A and B are shown apart, each in its own frame.
Chain A
Amino acid sequence: MTSDPSDKNKELERIRVSEKGGNAPETMPLEDYLAQGGKLTTPENAPPRYRGELLRLMATFVDSELAGAAGFADIINQGPGIKERISASRIVLEKLDHAERVLAVMGEFGADVSRYANHHPWTARVARDCDLGATRHGSDMRLAVLHYPLQDWLDAVVMNVLMGRAVTIQLDEFSRLSYQPLGDIFRAILPRERRHMELGEEGLRKLLQDETNRPAVTASIAYWRPRVAASFGAMASQHFDTQKKFGLRHTGNAELARQWADQVDGLLGDIGLR
């Protein structure tokens, strides 16, 4: 793909040695590097505050996947047919796999991976009528929306549709983050999470073929929509500013939430629920 540089290389051999010398090492402060879009690649590169914010972000993802998978696992048997149960099983399997991949990166920063996987009861849920807002609850980092219980198959499908859209938007944002080994993982799992969303949408369309499901679907959307919306976090967030400074985030919570709302409106219009 290059023109043949052999002639030039011969010239290299004849170069005149003229040491200018005294050159300072060509480095720059890490803050500047990150502010300009630089990537970090090993735990050793990561300064302490960056490390803390990166681990926090990873823990949020891992806990959300573990809690999401745990909640969905209970619903598999309620799938109306084998196909649906396969879809639900696949979602559970892959969410656990995604959690494991990101947890492995946490392990490179020192986390005790085997203890971490079991340090919380991931199936634990609050009462259905609780209102947690956007705040974390209990002692794990899962998104608040994953603390609410699924009621039945239909409810799980609706939740998966709304949350699936949110997850793909979040992962798209995360795949650009400044810790490249993690960005690569998010980029690799994004198509699979997108597939989970599509499986949910296929399931929802199927449910809606039966007109009598319509009121229950509408009620379920009304329940989940504000809760998923809250998972994008506070619209003005000092925490976001810190993450942005480190290149861990780029797009604000409000903008991501707006993208999600637009997509959900479009989808609901498509399936005749608006």
Chain B
Amino acid sequence: MARFFPLEVTDVRRETRDAVVVTLAPRDEDRQAFDFTQGQYLTFRRSFDGEELRRSYSICTGKDEGLLRVGIKRVDGGAFSTWANEDLKAGDALEAMAPMGAFHVPLQPEMSRNYLAFAGGSGITPVLSLIKTTLAREPRSRFTLIYGNRSINSIMFREELEDIKNTNLGRFNVVHVLESEAQEIDLFSGRIDAEKCARLFKGWVNIAAVDMAFICGPEPMMLAIAASLREHGLRDEQIKFELFASAPRRAKHVVKTTTDGARAETCKATITLDGSTRVIEMAKKGETILEAALAASLDAPFACKAGVCSTCRAMVLEGEVEMETNHALEDYEVRQGYVLTCQCHPLSDHVVVTYDQ
């Protein structure tokens, strides 16, 4: 079960017009829990208008800086990122889970490796952590960053990257690719796509020497770069991804609970899976929603059938249900309308359940 720790905000620095860098301090007793690995992220939770939101932001500091810091770029309509950009200040408290994520490779001080990273916009945050940690802990390795942004003003950590370049001469290079700005060398204008990669690999990056590549950005950019890297001979295990999901993936849903007297012995359950809907007459006692779905030949996901693994999670859109046990869903998920269907019996005469939301 997710565990959240309190973090004190010790500094909020404006990085660009729509991005802030937030420095955080765990309590002394939680320091161990926040001993992150480069490239990991923190998941925060906060209540907005009574609804708990969770958002993940990557740590942008290196292992040796002794600081816990995340970059938060404002997303249009994003409640958490807007709040962080407008209202968050030093002295505030935040809640976060211990660092998670596997966007890194183990470093070996004696190795001399060539790393190549691609970052799109705020996708720089975990990459910056990788760059700083790698340069510090693998003194013979080199790092090249291809960094895409809309315009020069929107480049996060631009100065810091320059500083890193100057203090690690010959070991770190950055190539800026700017989408909305015409440049004298057109290679550096536009988006980082397959064609751009092919051209970069011709003159700027010795792709044959690359040991490991990292990509963090939006979906089309990740696909195009990964395809290009494979085309140029990199194997799957040499490419690490971090898909940044700045926009919430799940549709926001308001649970409508209709009370219909709940007089009948049976319930009409409307169950949706993969876009197809079945209406099932089921007993209110002795049968779970999952069992009813499986009996109706719906290939509903499940595993433990003991309320432990959460594989069978679905959302109740209408009606009332009760769960026998729940060891997997958190309160905020339950408030959103999620249930474990393996533990779930209808109370009302009609329920609408979907596995698709």
* Cross-chain contact A112 with B100 (CB below 8 angstroms): no
Given contacts A39-B241, A49-B355, A180-B102, contact A115 B218 (CB under 8 A): no
Of A5, A41, A108, A141, which one neighbours B175 at CB under 8 angstroms? A5
* Cross-chain contact B237 with A26 (CB below 8 angstroms): no
Expressed in whole angstroms, the Cα–Cα distance for A115 and B173 within the complex equals: 48
Q: Chain A 20-63, CB within 8 Å of chain B: the 1/0 string?
A: 11010111101011001111111011111101110110011001
Q: Which of B7-15, B19-27, B201-209 contacts A (4 or more CB under 8 A)?
A: B201-209
Expressed in whole angstroms, the Cα–Cα distance for A60 and B241 within the complex equals: 25
* Cross-chain contact B240 with A180 (CB below 8 angstroms): yes
* Cross-chain contact A180 with B308 (CB below 8 angstroms): no
B357 to A, closest residue via Cβ = A48
Asked if B309 is at the interface (CB within 8 A of a chain A CB), the reply is yes
List, in ascending order, chain B residues with CB within 8 A of A20's CB: 179-180
The smallest C-beta distance from A150 to any residue of chain B, in angstroms, reads 25
Given contacts A37-B223, A242-B274, contact A42 B56 (CB under 8 A): yes
List, in ascending order, chain A residues with CB within 8 A of B181's CB: 15-19
Q: Which of B262-270, B327-335, B344-352 contacts A (4 or more CB under 8 A)?
A: B327-335
List, in ascending order, chain A residues with CB within 8 A of B247's CB: 25, 27
Interface size on A, residues (CB 8 A): 69
* Cross-chain contact B204 with A15 (CB below 8 angstroms): no
Given contacts A110-B329, A115-B308, A115-B327, contact A52 B313 (CB under 8 A): yes
Asked if A100 is at the interface (CB within 8 A of a chain B CB), the reply is no
Q: Which of B81-89, B132-140, B184-192 contacts A (4 or more CB under 8 A)?
A: B184-192
Asked if B72 is at the interface (CB within 8 A of a chain A CB), the reply is no
Q: Chain A 98-117, CB within 8 Å of chain B: the 1/0 string?
A: 00000000101111100110
* Cross-chain contact A41 with B241 (CB below 8 angstroms): yes
List, in ascending order, chain B residues with CB within 8 A of A112's CB: 1, 308-309, 327-328
Enumerate A170-186 residues with CB–CB distance to B below 8 Å.
Answer: 175-176, 180-181, 183-184
List, in ascending order, chain B residues with CB within 8 A of A53's CB: 301
Given contacts A28-B219, A55-B303, A110-B1, contact A48 B182 (CB under 8 A): no
* Cross-chain contact A41 with B250 (CB below 8 angstroms): no
Expressed in whole angstroms, the Cα–Cα distance for A204 and B310 within the complex equals: 41
Enumerate A144-193 residues with CB–CB distance to B below 8 Å.
Answer: 175-176, 180-181, 183-184, 187
List, in ascending order, chain B residues with CB within 8 A of A63's CB: 303
Expressed in whole angstroms, the Cα–Cα distance for A112 and B302 within the complex equals: 15
* Cross-chain contact B305 with A139 (CB below 8 angstroms): yes
Given contacts A15-B183, A26-B218, A242-B299, contact A109 B310 (CB under 8 A): yes
Q: Which of A6-14, A72-80, A123-131 contacts B (4 or more CB under 8 A)?
A: A6-14
Asked if A209 is at the interface (CB within 8 A of a chain B CB), the reply is no
Enumerate B310-330 residues with CB–CB distance to A below 8 Å.
Answer: 310-315, 327-330
Given contacts A2-B205, A5-B204, A19-B151, contact A56 B311 (CB under 8 A): yes
Asked if A222 is at the interface (CB within 8 A of a chain B CB), the reply is no
Q: Chain A 55-97, CB within 8 Å of chain B: the 1/0 string?
A: 1100110010000000000000000000000000000000000
Of B102, B142, B227, B313, which one neighbours A51 at CB under 8 angstroms? B313
Asked if B2 is at the interface (CB within 8 A of a chain A CB), the reply is yes
Number of interchain pairs (Cβ within 8 Å): 206
* Cross-chain contact B309 with A116 (CB below 8 angstroms): yes
Asked if A3 is at the interface (CB within 8 A of a chain B CB), the reply is yes
For chain B, what secondary structure do more than half of its interface residues adopt (helix, strand, loop), or is it mixed? loop
Of B100, B173, B180, B329, which one neighbours A23 at CB under 8 angstroms? B180
* Cross-chain contact B180 with A18 (CB below 8 angstroms): yes
Given contacts A38-B219, A39-B222, A42-B101, contact A111 B308 (CB under 8 A): yes
Asked if A239 is at the interface (CB within 8 A of a chain B CB), the reply is yes
Residue among A55, A59, A239 with max Cβ neighbours from chain B (10 Å): A55
Asked if A140 is at the interface (CB within 8 A of a chain B CB), the reply is yes
* Cross-chain contact A23 with B301 (CB below 8 angstroms): no
* Cross-chain contact B102 with A181 (CB below 8 angstroms): yes
Given contacts A30-B219, A48-B313, contact A1 B209 (CB under 8 A): yes
Expressed in whole angstroms, the Cα–Cα distance for A140 and B303 within the complex equals: 7
List, in ascending order, chain A residues with CB within 8 A of B299's CB: 238-239, 242
List, in ascending order, chain A residues with CB within 8 A of B221's CB: 26
* Cross-chain contact A110 with B41 (CB below 8 angstroms): no
B242 to A, closest residue via Cβ = A41
B54 to A, closest residue via Cβ = A44
Asked if A119 is at the interface (CB within 8 A of a chain B CB), the reply is yes
The smallest C-beta distance from B295 to any residue of chain A, in angstroms, reads 15
A8 to B, closest residue via Cβ = B185
Asked if B38 is at the interface (CB within 8 A of a chain A CB), the reply is no
* Cross-chain contact A23 with B1 (CB below 8 angstroms): no
* Cross-chain contact B100 with A42 (CB below 8 angstroms): yes
Of B273, B304, B330, which one neighbours A119 at CB under 8 angstroms? B304
Expressed in whole angstroms, the Cα–Cα distance for A37 and B102 within the complex equals: 19
The smallest C-beta distance from B76 to any residue of chain A, in angstroms, reads 8
Given contacts A23-B150, A119-B306, contact A59 B311 (CB under 8 A): yes
Task: Give the 10 A-B residue pairs with the shortest CB-CB distance, closest first.
Answer: A52-B301, A59-B303, A55-B311, A112-B327, A33-B219, A111-B309, A110-B310, A39-B241, A20-B180, A181-B102
Could you name 27 residue pairs across A and B whose Cβ atoms are closer than 8 Å? A1-B210, A8-B188, A12-B152, A12-B176, A16-B183, A19-B151, A25-B76, A27-B218, A33-B222, A37-B226, A38-B226, A38-B243, A41-B103, A41-B241, A42-B100, A45-B243, A48-B355, A49-B274, A49-B356, A52-B355, A55-B309, A55-B311, A111-B310, A116-B309, A119-B304, A180-B240, A184-B102
Q: A20-B180, A26-B218 given. 17 additional CB < 8 A pairs?
A: A15-B152, A18-B182, A19-B180, A23-B179, A27-B247, A30-B219, A39-B241, A40-B243, A41-B101, A42-B101, A44-B249, A111-B310, A115-B327, A116-B308, A119-B304, A181-B101, A183-B236
